[in-house]
Amino acid sequence: MKQKALDYHSQGRRGKIEVISSKPCNTQNDLSMAYTPGVSEPCREIVADPEAVYKYTARGNLVAVISNGTAVLGLGNIGPLAGKPVMEGKGILFKRFADIDVFDLELDANDPNDVIKIVQALEPTFGGINLEDIKAPECFYIEEELKKRMNIPVFHDDQHGTAIISGAALINAVKLQNKKLDEVRIVFSGAGAAAISCANHYIRLGVKRENCLLVDSKGVVYKGRSDGMNKYKEPFAAETSKRTLREAMEGADVFAGLSQGGLVDQAMVKNMADRPVVFALANPDPEISYPDACAARNDLIMATGRSDFPNQVNNVLGFPFIFRGALDVHALTINEEMKIAATNALASLAQRGAVPKEVLDAYGLQTLDFGPEYIIPKPMDPRVLVEVSFAVAKAAIESGSARKTVDLDKYKSQLEQVSRTLRK
């Protein structure tokens, strides 16, 4: 596997991305249009009307994937240089799933204020900013400040991508277990970017804050605790006598693992409430393996971050399509309404069933129906682009984030055409 991966990245053209021209550049006339003197004409149009930049340049379909390499996948703080293969990979996922172009930018900047200053200065180049693999709690501050200062969408995928997609899984899992969002008790293992964002998003979906317990490396986050606290954990400090993850999971309806592998054993799953939901999302090794959890309980619904088990919570179900919808209406930001719309679109699509044959073939399946082993759509489902991008664009227009209004019926048809083109 190691050699195959190294060969994949090194053979032929190095890396995974390249820049190609979208206009001909073969003749003297082509050169005069692409550069001087012809290029001066769109420049003058943009001076007269800054919004014309979306008509005459690639800005409206260009996203920056930006990282300082301080929290890369499961590798930790490996730095911007070693993180570049991951950012290139993110770029090809944007292109493959939503036909969005990407420049990956790896910053040699550990000071959050330096990151903010650099990214803010890039606004004229891009239609959106995808922050990636920046460690907590700095990532919260960086995104908050950039959203205040910039008039294009800024989205930290490690936070919101996982929250949006697992939120869809939560809606459907709770529904299948005959429970209600405003009644379930949830334990979050982890208190980093993904865990805190998931907790906040679940609350926006209907979970009650008082029914949430956050557990970090030092134990339960409770009122009065001083060790290892920060302003992002503080809102989840609970009035409880529970102090460990094991104690927290007793009687819980939902376990949301966003921490590290091997933290949960079968006894802890057995001590959860009837018909539990287990999201063991640590990668590559879940907090408890799918086989172990299923062996412990036959009444659970489980999701992991792995592709070799049912219900994979995969961020590629979110960011390409969220940005597609945001870019197409020239959104100022990706707000909470747009995130909730994306979650609901994913949840509804899984409930709809009728999975296309090409998706079944891609996963070697005969059938795939809404149920315990299918609570979120598969990444290869071409309907995801249409449903999620449409929902995000519509929410952007309705919430006031959009600078451009589109005919929604025509827009859905356009998305269907993009989806067909990407499948060829």
Instruction: Give the DSSP per-residue string, 17-67.
Output: -----SS---SHHHHHHHSTTTTHHHHHHHHH-GGGHHHHSSGGGEEEEEE
**194, 328 contact by CB (below 8 A):** no
How much is the pLDDT for 48? 98
Residue 283 has pLDDT above 90, yes or no: no
* Single-letter amino acid, residue 358: E
Task: Record the tokens describing residue 36, joined without a space.
Answer: 């001087």
**384, 377 contact by CB (below 8 A):** yes
How much is the pLDDT for 147? 98
C-beta atoms surrounding 390 within 10 Å: 22
C-beta atoms surrounding 109 within 10 Å: 17
The band of 34, judged by pLDDT with boundaries at 50, 70 and 90, is very high
Residue 334 has pLDDT above 90, yes or no: yes
Those residues with Cβ within 8 angstroms of residue 5's Cβ, 6 or more apart along the chain or in another chain = none
How much is the pLDDT for 392? 98
Rounded Cα distance between 323 and 315, Å, is 13
* Single-letter amino acid, residue 26: N
How much is the pLDDT for 146? 98
Residue 203 has pLDDT above 90, yes or no: yes
Distances (CA, A) of 255 to 222, 286, 370, 378: 18, 12, 21, 22
End-to-end CA distance of the chain: 29
Lowest mean pLDDT among 41-45, 253-257, 358-362, 415-419: 358-362
Average pLDDT value for the chain: 96
Q: What's phi and psi for 29, nearest 5 deg?
A: -65, -40
* Single-letter amino acid, residue 51: E
Rounded Cα distance between 224 and 311, Å, is 37
Mean pLDDT of 229-244: 96
Residue 424 has pLDDT above 90, yes or no: no
**H or E, element range at 214:** strand 212-216
Residue 91 has pLDDT above 90, yes or no: yes
Residue 423 has pLDDT above 90, yes or no: no
How much is the pLDDT for 74? 78
Rounded Cα distance between 99 and 93, Å, is 9
Q: What's phi and psi for 101, nearest 5 deg?
A: -85, 150
Tell me how many degrees the CA angle 398-128-117 measures, rounded to the nearest 5.
Answer: 120
pLDDT tens profile 352-404:
978 999 999 988 999 999 999 999 999 999 999 999 999 999 999 999 999 99
DSSP 8-state class, residue 333: -
The band of 274, judged by pLDDT with boundaries at 50, 70 and 90, is very high
**342, 322 contact by CB (below 8 A):** yes
The band of 190, judged by pLDDT with boundaries at 50, 70 and 90, is very high
pLDDT tens profile 170-189:
999 999 999 999 999 999 99
More confident residue, 402 or 74: 402
Residues with active-site annotation: 35, 90
More confident residue, 122 or 136: 122
Taking alpha carbons only, the member of 150, 158, 159, 98 closest to residue 128 is 150
Lowest mean pLDDT among 61-65, 283-287, 298-302, 333-337: 283-287
The band of 236, judged by pLDDT with boundaries at 50, 70 and 90, is very high
**125-148 burial code (b ≥16 CB/10 A, e <16):** ebbbbbbbbbbbbbbbbbbebbbe
For the chain, which domains are there? 15-158 (3.40.50.10380), 160-304 (3.40.50.720), 315-423 (3.40.50.720)
Mean pLDDT of 110-119: 98
How much is the pLDDT for 225? 95
C-beta atoms surrounding 209 within 10 Å: 12
| Alpha-carbon torsion (17, 23, 26, 28), positive or negative | negative
How much is the pLDDT for 284? 84
